[in-house]
């Protein structure tokens, strides 16, 4: 069975329609040269792929998983239940409830199955990338230096005065 390529950070989503949201996580990963891969792993439509990916993630060198899901949003929790690799969850905005259903589903994890849940949508996905970098930078000191420089540059971009 085909599984995703191995990368330090692997970003998974339930379907292609989640990509416009989840691609936001790749922004900082690319800017800071963090090895990452992206793919589709559906909790409901590809359960065998989900199982193989989650069970093999650590062995395949995945250090952090970013998992985005909408609607019933089972993907992050299912992955977290099958691996010791940290999972950062991104609730994807849904058609009916603007992602509130996704958010509530993801944050209702049973004790002992943790996911680090971000905000709904693109901002949450971007912050999932930021969090992944921060987690990797705990022991990767060159990455920590790049992240600190990135953050200083973002601060420097904020105007002091109002432009009218």
Pick the closest to residue 82 from 138, 24, 12 (CA basis). Answer: 12
Question: 99: left (phi > 0), else alpha (psi -120 to 50), else beta?
Answer: left
What is the spatial distance between Cα 64 and Cα 7, in angstroms, rounded to a whole number?
A: 9
15 is in an annotated binding site: yes
Residue 113 burial class via C-beta count within 10 angstroms: exposed 0-12, middle 13-18, buried 19 and up: middle
105 is in an annotated binding site: no
Binding site membership for substrate: which residues? 15, 18, 45
> Which residue ranges are tagged as binding site?
15, 18, 45
């Amino acid at each position: 069975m085909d599984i995703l390529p191995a990368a330090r950070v692997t970003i998974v989503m339930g379907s292609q329609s989640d990509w416009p949201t989840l691609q936001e996580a790749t922004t900082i990963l690319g800017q800071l040269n963090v090895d990452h891969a992206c793919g589709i792993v559906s909790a409901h439509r590809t359960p065998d792929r989900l199982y193989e990916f989650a069970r093999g993630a650590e062995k395949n060198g995945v250090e952090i998983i970013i998992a985005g899901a909408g609607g019933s949003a089972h993907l992050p929790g299912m992955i977290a239940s099958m691996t010791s690799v940290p999972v950062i969850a991104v609730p994807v905005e849904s058609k009916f409830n603007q992602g509130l259903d996704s958010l509530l589903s993801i944050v209702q994890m049973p004790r002992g199955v943790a996911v680090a849940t971000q905000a709904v949508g693109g901002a949450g996905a971007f912050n999932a990338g930021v969090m992944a970098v921060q987690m990797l930078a705990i022991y990767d000191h060159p990455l920590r230096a790049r992240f600190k420089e990135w953050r200083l540059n973002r601060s420097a971009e904020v105007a002091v005065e109002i432009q009218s």
